[in-house]
Amino acid sequence: MRSERPALPCALAIGGLDPGGGAGIVADLRAFAAAGAFGCVAIALTTVQSTAGLKSVRSASTRDLVAQAQEVLRSQRVRAVKVGALGSRRNVHAVARLLSRHADLPVIVDTPMRPTRGRARLLAGDALSTLKGELLPRATLVTANVLEAEALLGVEIRSVGQARDAARLLLHAGAFAVLIKGGHMVGPNAIDVLAVEGDVIELRASRLPLQSTHGTGCTFASLIAGRLAVRVSGRVNRDDLVAAIRWAKRVHHAALGRAVDVGRGMRAVVF
């Protein structure tokens, strides 16, 4: 008699398609698999890009985006959602409304606005206030690098102390927790700052001597979402979230150390 395979939890990535595979939903799927979750996607934008950089961005139809996500949420065992690049203000608004109907799901909101290389925007200029006012309040966790946090808050962040203050300020947008990543700061350690339930926690890792690497933010946020999908059923509490972030940081740090050359330009993160 053939034994039944165990049911797998799903993690849903809502974001952009990078045809070069280094970032966006392709990177999300690799991270979900590394966490043990079955990956699903809804496409918010398409791009022309590779490891050499981003050439152009085109936002997807809001109707199609919502239809894709709704179908997966209706039919599959989605246990966590990761939101990445959304492109237009209409897409941000629609995703926020959709997530308001699934308040039991943990939602990791990454906030990519501009690429590491290239001039095209991953978030329209008129969408920033909608992101802050409508989407961030739906987030279990907001992940932002220093440049993104500066854009969201209109402040300068040059030190860990300023990152701590910024994380507290971003909590006022309504997210359960905020993580400001320390990769753009200087020093022997890369220090991420996590604000959750009134506390601020510093997560340290030795700074790696890396060449330019593609999709690091996408991957980190998706590792967290994938881990929550596998380990947590229902609403996420502080301990669940901190444990998932610590696990993701360890796995992410190890993967950065073995980033691979897949072509001209930036390296890619693999597991």
pLDDT in tens, 181-231: 986 666 667 789 999 998 999 998 877 777 788 889 999 999 999 999 999
The tokens 């992101």 sit on which residue?
A: 131
Residues designated as active site: 181, 213, 215-218
Q: What is the mean pLDDT of residues 151-175?
A: 94
> What separation, in Å, do the N-terminal and C-terminal C-alpha atoms of the chain show?
34
pLDDT digits (tens, 9 = 90+) for 43-94: 999 999 999 999 999 999 999 999 999 999 999 999 999 999 999 999 999 9
DSSP-derived pairing of the beta strands 107-110 and 141-145: parallel
pTM: 0.95
| Domains observed in the chain | 10-258 (3.40.1190.20)
Q: How far apart are CA 24 and CA 74, in angstroms?
A: 23
CB atoms closer than 10 angstroms to residue 179: 31
> What pLDDT shows up at residue 229?
98
pLDDT digits (tens, 9 = 90+) for 80-132: 999 999 999 999 999 999 999 999 999 999 988 877 666 688 999 899 999 99
Q: What is the mean pLDDT of residues 122-143?
A: 95
